[in-house]
Structure 1
Amino acid sequence: MQGSTFNLQQLAEHLACEFVGDASYEVNAVAPVEVATRSDLTFVAQERLLKLLAECNAGIVLLNPAHESDFSGNKLLVTDPYLAYAKLSKLFDMRVARNQGVHPSAVVSSSAKIAPTAAVSANCVVGDNVEIGENTELYPGCVIGDGVVIGARCLLHANVTLYADVILGNDVIIHSATVIGSDGFGFSPSKDGWIKIHQLGRVRIGNRVEIGANTAIDRGALTDTEIGDGVIIDNQVHLAHGVKVGRNTAIAGCVGVAGSTVIGENCTIAGMVAINGHISIADNTHFNGGTVVTKGNTEAGVFASTTPLQDVRSWRKNSVRYTQLDEMASRIRKLEKALEKL
């Protein structure tokens, strides 16, 4: 898809890198190396893909200087092509900013404080004592509860809901249908059934956080749920009440984190990971996809707990053997004791 147009020299200046080729050559889109055309920018971040450059038709290629000779056309020479691609992708973003001001169909409390440069789109609802910072954009249908504070340059896509007293820092992006500040799953059993524990905390989100679509982050029961600066969270993630996530941690799709767990800084949590409640995860911890985390850790490392892929016949046999482990362990102990007597 076409976006803005930039020439080779402009892109090199944006990246502060060297280039080889026609400085005035222009591209207007980014595409994968396999399908890039003469009007596209592409990149090669893995050595195994260098072979594709022989038939690549891209107008400009991001390359590590060590591989400069693998492509004869226009190129930008960068140490980390993938990082350079990430930095350039913003230039080609075709999203159109919302018009500043409040749309006539929006319902906004008279006590709300909305910066003049902010945009509140059609059918948004903004509650009492809300604060919305400069250049923040609310797409149609967002619901902003009483007492919410939203910083500068935030972007809330359509139908995002922020419950009362949620606090967002600056440069936060939240994708559609995500709910921030819903009640945690807190109930006490009684002879008359479940008694609701009202959730009295808030959700506090730092700066430069991005949260995917259809994600739910619960407010704290007593203390706040906290998301640190630079955290990125994928779609369909659930963070329960009182969870705290450290700076620059990345959480992939379909992760569930139970209440009051503390996750450190610079962690990566792959898809489908399930994390128990009331535990602490050390900084620089990395969980592979599908890991079930039942206890915390105090030292950084890489952890996994899923069974590797196998054909169904092997899986059936191994499943049966798994149920026999306790009996086998008992037999081994008896054999060891018998050997000790010899």
Structure 2
Amino acid sequence: MTHASHPITLADIARHLDIAFDGDASRPIRGLATLKEAGPDQVAFLANRAYLKDLASTRAAAVLLHPEHGKNCPVPRLETENPYLGYARISQLFDPLRARDVPGVHDTAVVAEDAVLGEGVVIQANAVIESGVTLGAHVVVGAGSVVGADSSIGDGSRLHANVTVCHGVVIGKRVVLQSGCVIGGDGFGFAHDGAGWHKIAQLGGVVLGDDVEVGSCSSIDRGALGDTLIGCDVKIDSQVQIAHNVTIGDHSALAGCVGIAGSTRVGKHCMLGGGVGLSGHLTICDGVQVTGMSLVTNSILEPGVYSSGTGAMNNTQWRKNAVRFKQLDDIAKRLNKLEKNSRSE
């Protein structure tokens, strides 16, 4: 359940969604809630047919729903073809973070003299802004966050507490970086001389497009020579590892614990499920969906849904199948031999 600090009217919500509304447009709305929990000063939404049973008894001030369900709604309705998208849009109106943003630099923050700060910038306690940094209008740098030298952050972006943006990183507009993520750390580059490892300096950077979101404790490594490139409107969940010189196309989404090895290229409109691993130097074309816990070791050049691995099963059955996995090569050879003999007869 969420609440706005200052009342918003139903007219404000309808205007924000650019849809018609036939109820009391001046009614103040103080939050969003489920159909079952909503009170007369809250808006509810219906995006899943499983909750149709709760519509008739809702006490909400209004319900955001598809037109096909409008006739069954006992309270004023906000009709839209995509109620869940509508809910996502109006949720921004009730985000409590917006009310707490006070433009200015906290007394404990450290800001380099040559840093360029746009209009309405918020720099919270103990943040560090290094030399050569440019922050666009209304950027928020959360408490304890660091923006490294010569980096730039576009208008309307937000760094939550304890985010690290390393040197030479370019971040677009309206980007959200959740707590603990690291953008532009060194890639995993070492040369072996037969006895030990020698570090390769990572000389590239990271570029994030507009409207990117990166979840908590995720890492996007800087390039070894060129840049690691994340396109516009890419959504990255928590605890994701993106290695040096990876490219991810616009509008792709990566669920938690995805790992992408160096120099792999992921296309536009791709979706990688939780725990997916991509080997290095691969190409994944546009429009690919990889289901959770899959391991991809070869390039994917045709759009579609891809999976690997086996689902959980009884341990006894799994052990039997594991033995059979080892026998597959021998079985294939015997089958080929039988087919050759059959053709020769």
TM-score range, shorter chain: over 0.9
- Deviations 1:191-246 (Å, cap 9, x if unpaired)? 34101111010111111111111010000001100111111111111110001111
Helix, strand or coil for the counterpart of 2:12? Answer: helix
The residue aligned with 1:334 is 337
How far is the alpha carbon of 1:284 from its aligned partner?
1.4
Contact 1:270 1:288 in 2 (8 A): yes
The residue aligned with 2:72 is 70
- Deviations 1:296-330 (Å, cap 9, x if unpaired)? 12222111113234344433332232222222223
How far is the alpha carbon of 1:77 from its aligned partner?
0.9
Distance in structure 1 (CA, Å) of the matches to 2:313 and 2:62: 42
| Structure 1 gap ranges (5+) | none
Helix, strand or coil for the counterpart of 1:14? Answer: helix
Return the letter of the residue paired with 2:76: N
Of 70-79 and 314-323, the range deviating more from structure 2: 314-323
1:286 matched to 2:296: no
From the superposition, tell whether residues 109 and 72 of structure 1 become closer, same or farther in structure 2 (CA, over 3 Å): same
Distance in structure 1 (CA, Å) of the matches to 2:336 and 2:284: 35
The residue aligned with 2:51 is 49
Helix, strand or coil for the counterpart of 2:108? Answer: coil
Aligned equivalent of 2:249, options 204, 223, 246: 246
Where do 1:110-149 residues align within 5 Å? 110-149=113-152
The residue aligned with 1:39 is 41
Of 100-109 and 246-255, the range deviating more from structure 2: 100-109
The residue aligned with 1:229 is 232
From the superposition, tell whether residues 121 and 315 of structure 1 become closer, same or farther in structure 2 (CA, over 3 Å): same
The sequence identity of aligned pairs, in percent, is: 41
Contact 2:56 2:74 in 1 (8 A): no
Contact 1:101 1:116 in 2 (8 A): no
Helix, strand or coil for the counterpart of 1:62? Answer: strand
Of 6-15 and 145-154, the range deviating more from structure 2: 6-15
Return the letter of the residue paired with 1:252: A
Distance in structure 1 (CA, Å) of the matches to 2:321 and 2:52: 41
Helix, strand or coil for the counterpart of 1:17? Answer: coil
Distance in structure 2 (CA, Å) of the matches to 1:194 and 1:274: 25
Q: What's the TM-score, normalizing by structure 2?
A: 0.93
Helix, strand or coil for the counterpart of 1:28? Answer: strand
1:262 matched to 2:265: yes
From the superposition, tell whether residues 21 and 309 of structure 1 become closer, same or farther in structure 2 (CA, over 3 Å): farther
Contact 2:253 2:271 in 1 (8 A): yes
Distance in structure 1 (CA, Å) of the matches to 2:147 and 2:15: 40
How far is the alpha carbon of 1:20 from its aligned partner?
4.4
- Deviations 1:86-118 (Å, cap 9, x if unpaired)? 111111111134322222211222222222421
| Structure 2 gap ranges (5+) | none
- Deviations 1:115-173 (Å, cap 9, x if unpaired)? 24212111111211111111111111111111111122111111111111111111111
The residue aligned with 2:214 is 211
How far is the alpha carbon of 1:176 from its aligned partner?
0.6
Helix, strand or coil for the counterpart of 1:18? Answer: coil
The residue aligned with 2:3 is 2
Of 104-113 and 129-138, the range deviating more from structure 2: 104-113
Distance in structure 1 (CA, Å) of the matches to 2:108 and 2:101: 15
Return the letter of the residue paired with 2:123: V
Helix, strand or coil for the counterpart of 2:96? Answer: coil
Distance in structure 2 (CA, Å) of the matches to 1:320 and 1:192: 37
From the superposition, tell whether residues 115 and 58 of structure 1 become closer, same or farther in structure 2 (CA, over 3 Å): same
Aligned equivalent of 2:184, options 181, 184, 191: 181
Q: What's the TM-score, normalizing by structure 1?
A: 0.94
Distance in structure 1 (CA, Å) of the matches to 2:318 and 2:228: 40
Return the letter of the residue paired with 1:204: V
Distance in structure 2 (CA, Å) of the matches to 1:288 and 1:26: 43
Distance in structure 1 (CA, Å) of the matches to 2:233 and 2:144: 26
How far is the alpha carbon of 1:9 from its aligned partner?
3.1
For the aligned residues, what is the CA RMSD? 1.8
Distance in structure 1 (CA, Å) of the matches to 2:44 and 2:152: 40
Return the letter of the residue paired with 2:107: P
Return the letter of the residue paired with 1:148: S
The residue aligned with 2:90 is 88
- Deviations 1:26-51 (Å, cap 9, x if unpaired)? 43221233433333322111223323
Distance in structure 2 (CA, Å) of the matches to 1:221 and 1:238: 16
Where do 1:91-106 residues align within 5 Å? 91-95=93-97, 96-106=99-109
Return the letter of the residue paired with 1:10: D
> How many residue pairs align between the two structures?
342
Of 295-304 and 312-321, the range deviating more from structure 2: 312-321
